[in-house]
Amino acid sequence: MALCLAFTMLLLLLGSPSSARRNRCLDAAEACTADARCQRLRTEYVAQCLGRAAAGGCPQARCRRALRRFFARGPPALTHALLFCSCVNAACAERRRQTFVPACAFSGPGPAPPSCLAPLDACEHSRVCRPRLLAFQASCAPAPSAPGGCLQDQVPRCLHAYAGLVGTAITPNYVDNASARVAPWCDCGASGNRREECEAFRGLFTRNRCLDGAMQAFDGGWPPVLQDQLDVHQDPEHSLQQVSSTDGLLVGSSLLSLLPVLALRPLL
């Protein structure tokens, strides 16, 4: 039974033909499969996150490291499309929620989520997580004057910083199949006299107009490279050149340039 479930999950993650009407999450999966670099990195994290479980559960540290590699080295237009694809039904939303193997990368060993103070404290003491959280706080700080909560040039930085948290101690994910709400796997029910700190941390994800606006803006500007990858008449070499050209779209602004330690690649 476990083998069958693992095989089903593998097909879901690696992409498979669909008899239902097309959706953007499936398009994103197929576009990644069509790109050699994206598919190689995705296969790596799937193998780690669905690999043989250790005595204490899944190999979470290896799974998360492979996810960090996926976002640091994969084509951003494709990796972000997998992360931020929009959905109009529960089946699509479930595919999106399961894309990064939440049973291993997202949730913990217990049946109930821990206090958010636990992953927050772990992040504060991690050389990988702490600078990424600082980058997320700086890049996704809401701009009250902006209609969508984010300044126009802030959107790509916010999405890039959010993606950088996947594979860390505070890995966020979609919390259900009925919305696009995201949060780390934690709550604030047992945070004691640090309840305010806990709620403020969780609110970075659940009450962040800039993050919400950035995700909606990504949906409104669906990367043209995906259509190129899915077009059977498109020249493959031309498509790969377009994918490579998107690497420069997510370069940080002067705010992040003040924090050179926030570069993701050296932290892997």
56 vs 5, 109, 170, CA distance in Å?
19, 8, 20
Q: What is the pLDDT of residue 230?
A: 55
Overall average pLDDT of the 26-54 stretch = 89
Distance CA 140, CA 256 (A): 12
Radius of gyration of the chain (CA): 18
pLDDT(266) > 50: no
Domain range list for the chain: 23-227
Measured between alpha carbons, how far is residue 193 from residues 80, 107, 129, 190, 199 in Å?
Answer: 37, 25, 24, 9, 11
Q: Which of 104-118, 160-174, 241-255 has the lowest mean pLDDT?
A: 241-255
In this predicted model, what pLDDT tens digit does every residue of 231-259 receive, in sequence order?
Answer: 533 444 433 333 333 333 333 332 233 23
Q: How confident is residue 229, by pLDDT bands cut at 50, 70 and 90?
A: low
Range 119-146 average pLDDT: 94
**Distance of alpha carbon 41 from alpha carbon 26, whole angstroms:** 18
Q: Which residues, in sequence order, are bridge partners of residue 174?
A: 182
Most confident of 101-110, 196-205, 237-246: 196-205
Mean pLDDT value of segment 144-172: 92
Instruction: Give the pLDDT score at 28.
Output: 92
Least confident of 3-12, 130-139, 243-252: 243-252
Among residues 114, 112, 109, which one has the least CA distance to residue 57? Answer: 109
Contacts of 229 (CB under 8 A, 6+ apart): 30, 31, 34, 35, 78, 239, 243
- Where is pLDDT greater, at 234 or 89? 89
Category of 34 on φ-ψ map: left (φ > 0), alpha (ψ -120 to 50) or beta:
alpha
CB 76 within 8 A of CB 160: yes
Higher pLDDT, 84 or 266: 84
Q: What span, in angstroms and rounded, lies between the C-alpha atoms of 155 and 140? A: 8
Q: Check residue 253 and give its pLDDT.
A: 33
Q: Which fold has domain 23-227?
A: Annexin V; domain 1 (1.10.220)
User: What local confidence, expressed as pLDDT, does residue 111 receive?
Assistant: 79
Residue 170 has pLDDT above 90, yes or no: yes
Residue 209 CB coordination number (10 Å)? 16
Token pair belonging to 151: 């300044």
Six token digits for residue 58: 């899944």
Cβ–Cβ < 8 Å for 126, 194? no
> What is residue 192's predicted lDDT score, i.e. its pLDDT?
82
> Higher-confidence residue: 55 or 257?
55
**pLDDT at residue 221, rounded to an integer:** 66
Question: How would residue 154 be classed by pLDDT, with cut points 50, 70 and 90?
Answer: very high
pLDDT at 23: 80
pLDDT at 190: 80
Nearest to 80 by CA among 219, 230, 257: 219
Q: Which of 53, 84, 75, 51 is nearest to 172 (CA)?
A: 84
pLDDT at position 218 is 84
Strand segments, DSSP code E, in the chain are: 172-174, 182-184
Rounded distance between C-alpha atoms, residue 72 and residue 115, angstroms: 29
